[in-house]
Structure 1
Amino acid sequence: MGRLSALLCLCGLLAVAGVATAATCVANPDHPFESEDPSGCKKCSDDNSKCVECWVGYSFNSTGLCDRCEQNDCESCKPGPNGKMSFCTQCNFYWDEAPDVGTYAEANGTCVSCKTAHCKECTNVNATNPTSTCVRCEMGMGVMPDGSCQPCKDVENCLWCDGNTAKCTECMSGFFNQDGVCKPCSKGCRTCTNATVCLECDYSDPETLQGLVLDTATSKCVPCNSQGCGNCPQGPDTCEDCNEGYTNTTDGKACAKCTDPYCTSCAPGKPDVCTMCAMWNDTSNKLQWGVDKASGKCVDCRIKHCASCQADADKCDWCDDGFWNDEKKGACVPCGDVLEHCTGCSTNGMSDSPTYGQPLCDSCEKGWVVNEATSKCVKKGGKA
């Protein structure tokens, strides 16, 4: 190989190697709390060489990776004196149910509750802002000139009334603000500038469940043309989603009603083929409808003592009270036959348990109690 060829080959290998080592960032499409992927990166650079945005509750650590903030109510943070992500710079992040009041970041990087009652958001304390003040109250309230949170006079339609309880600053969905008064948009409209000009429609009519779409020519909400259509965002003549008991036609533009009156879902383009039946059977007053796979019709569950078999009449979802669903045998077995002295039972659904899929006793015969450790019946005062 000549010297020039060797140099070109080496450069090519280095270029390939450079690309391979640079493209190290993989963004997590979901928040780490909602997925099995522990990565806290939300967005990578265009060349995938590094992360440029972390998910809320995560921030860049000293090595440039997204690391979880140590405080649960922290939105963004930075490394503290111990090197860990313990110094919070922005609070108010709650993955679970939010508390009655919000939190703010103190100068020492800890999250503390807002001092004002009913305040959901207050300013952080730092060198330029030595005292935290409320900037957002609970819905239906407003921040007053004295810094307190007070209820709006229009409790029905007003979201916030900052500065004056009698004048609304932001209205609820379906209303527009006219000089501090919340007035209704036209029927079916979610966002509007006035009573006649709609900007965004509700997903569907709450009474008929018929989908709604904005007619740009009239600025009004009109229903989808096809009966049973729950969503037609491209226009009233093209259905995207059909309601329960309907399926799309073969051209995908309209909805056809499932032919079986007890069918809640039928195959795409095949209204005669049911895939899911209604849970309640009006004729027998029991949870007994299921799909007959051969005919595509809704029939009674074929397993004795089966309470529900919506997707398959020959496969039980759960059994009547006092019976255990033995899926291997395809039968509903009396609880007392699988667990002595047991009158009510269920199935262990914990996948990491050694007894996963096995029967658990929930109630026992008179004079017997459930032993929580074994999920079996023992004599009162006795042991398993």
Structure 2
Amino acid sequence: MSSYICNDNRCPSGTVCPFYASTGQDKMCRRCKNYNCASCLSNVLSQCITCNQGYFLQDWTCKLCQAGCRTCENDYECTSCLSGYKLDQRYCYKCSDNCIDCNTYGDCNICGPGFFTEGGPNCHKCSTGCVKCTNSNNCSACFDGFELGGMVCKTCSIGCKTCNKGVCTSCRYSFALKDGNCTSCPENCGKCTAEGSCITCQDGSFLKNGMCVSCGDNCMDCKSDSMCRLCKERYDIQSGKCILNECNDVNKCTDNKFCARDPAGNKCVTLPKNCVDADISGNCIRCENIYGVEDGKCVYCAVYCNICISPKQCTKCYENYFLKNGVCTSCSDGCRSCESATKCTRCCLGYTLDQDICQKQGPRECSKSKSCPSGKFCLYYPWISTCETCAEGCSACSDIKSCTACIDGYRLHEQTCVKQICTDSKQCHYDTFCEILPTGNICTNCSEGCKFCSTATKCTRCNLGYSLDGDICQKQESHECTSDKACPSGKFCEKKYLNNTCENCREGCTTCTDSRTCLQCAGGYFSSKGTCQSCSQNCKSCRDQDLCYACQNGAEMVDGLCAQPVQRMSGGSIAGIVAGLVLLVGLIGGAIAFAVARKRKVQRSVQGDLEVKRRISSFKQTTTAFGAKSRSDSIWQSLLVCDELGGLRYRMSWVGKWRQSENEKLLVGGRCECAGAGLERKGCKIQKQLG
């Protein structure tokens, strides 16, 4: 029976029983696809479970240990060594030739079969055929095919495994014992009878009519000479034949070789110079760095180019260069790698990155004997040392991640300084409280409607429009007015505890802040000490009750007041006037005499009038100089000039401060008042009341 037929789902090393195999079916072992597998998944032959000696398992693949390792955890740590190597600190050191165990000093403890040691590092050969001896002349055991005679080994006959005094007692593989001699079995037999009939066949043959017939080249097990079931290692079955596959997707070629794929069998072929991968024809399809493919060969990339598709198509530049339009361009001074000429990402030694630019460093800033200032730590390298800033809020640190003390406003939490903008609620705004958090204390808003609070759920005082209910501020009925919601004209916002309301301003006021303070009066009113007073009758706009700027209801301005126009006289009134004129003529005669008597006095009065005219002229010039203009609208005042006796002489219009001489008098509101220089309007003492 073939050793490659599944027996209780067990197969030789490097093969596996298929997952679909069952009783009554062909349970032929299948070879793992990875040549270094000792066992693999039955349904995924390319995934190893265990590895051959000298390999370790990584990601379902068997990879080579370092030289001398029997087992290892990775490619640099051995756990046991092959015979002839010594394990020391996870490394296998080779013993001397033919030594299977030695100490760390190189002295051999045990020599291999057929050799002996004399205590030194070397192993010495025993006599011919001797497997165990203490010296070259003292043999105690012999190899197969020899027998011990005295202290030397004597050769048995051909094919004999053991013999006694020249007579064979057992035979080698593929030999049969007959009459004390070993005779050779027929070709390809593993075991046969003395008569020469095959019992078992060697690998690569099958039993047919007592003879072993070859399966064919490189076949290890078959049903017939044309139907191979299992090939030798590195051969695959194709149409019942074994085809050499030195390499495949799982089993790679060694360095400097590539897997040339061919239907007749894949072979490892030496790569062209500077090539890392090639096609079946040997044309390079991928080159080493600094080389690009051109006509199937590897040629140098363009200057400063590290990796290229072709000499004219660069994909990666050397350090200190960046790629621009397929060409490598130099970075700025001190820049080790960059994205553009103005954006550096890493600096050369002796430079520091500062806002995308590499700034040249000065001499050493710190050492073991020269510490850094507060808030910095010493970043030390064999070639340079700098004082680097600790993390935010840190006043002392050993490195960027290990803070030992914090500045004011921060506190230490697991070697990190967390921001602490408050220690209690007194340091926070009135509508916030100090919340203690692992990442830093912060002022957090109170709940809605809360003016003062100690926690998010404990309010002590509420905002306007809210009332305190336990520790919570409950919203009251909505306000009629707020700071963002004004009252209509003629009203002001009365702020109350529970509800703001719009209240009326005082009579005549259109804009006020409260019931006592008016900011703007309605038409027909004037402002006086924060209140609105009514203008005189028929006055539309005035400064006070005696000085009207504009009239209404058809009234006319007369002496600063508004009066209704005079009605047309009737016929009776005209007759009365005629009678009066007759009486007047009678009185003229008497008046003439009186006039002569007062002539001298009148002359003096005329001279006084002229002086008044002169002063009025001066007064007009003065007012013009102060910006007054001849206008007759509502902002002008009508003023009357009085003589010394209080009689009406002249009238003029003017606005502003009084700038007249000290002797002039003005008729204001039915009163004759002086208007001395520098006096404010109506600031003159009353001289005489007119009748």
Larger relative contact order (Cα-Cα within 8 Å, sequence gap ≥ 6): 1
Does TM-score exceed 0.5, indicating one fold? no
TM-score normalized with structure 2 length: 0.24
TM-score normalized with structure 1 length: 0.38
User: Greater Rg, structure 1 or structure 2?
Assistant: 2
